[in-house]
Amino acid sequence: MATETENGITLPLVLTIGGTRVLGGIGLGLLLAEKMDGATRHSVGKALLAAGIASTIPLLGRVLVQSVCRG
């Protein structure tokens, strides 16, 4: 049921990309926040930021490959 837009990007892909950005943003926010114990905040923040970045790279590659193949 995933319909593609003109450039081949589906709604589930857009939602997945958005979710990875949220993970990265939360991780970055925790790194900058002062609400948690320092060591805990840094550990959780680094893990979330890394998860956001690591999951964005393959998705970005997929979008770029789709746009090059179609264009």
Q: What is the pLDDT of residues 28-37, one digit of tens each?
A: 887 877 777 8
Within a 10 A sphere around the Cβ of 10, how many other Cβ atoms? Answer: 14
Answer whether 0.85 is exceeded by the pTM.
no
Tell me the mean pLDDT in the region 37-55: 84
Total domains in the chain come to 1
- Considering the domain boundaries, does residue 5 fall inside one? no
- Considering the domain boundaries, does residue 1 fall inside one? no
Sign of the alpha-carbon dihedral angle for 65, 62, 22, 49: negative
- Considering the domain boundaries, does residue 34 fall inside one? yes
* Domain carrying residue 54: 16-70
